[in-house]
Amino acid sequence: GGTIAEVGTPAELFSAPRDERTKQFLRRVRM
């Protein structure tokens, strides 16, 4: 685990993640 350095609503995170770590996290989740 770890913290996700991201600002915005969950909807914004899933539609346009700006943090590379968040993108990688979402990629794993969407598998």
Model confidence over 4-26: pLDDT tens digits? 665 666 666 566 666 777 778 77
Sign of CA dihedral 20, 12, 8, 26: negative
pLDDT of residue 9: 64
pLDDT value at residue 26:
75
- Give the per-residue SS3 of 1-31: CCCCCCCCCHHHHHHCCCCHHHHHHHHHHHC
More confident residue, 29 or 4: 29
Given this model, what pLDDT does residue 29 score?
A: 81
pLDDT of residue 16: 62
The pTM assigned to this predicted structure is 0.35
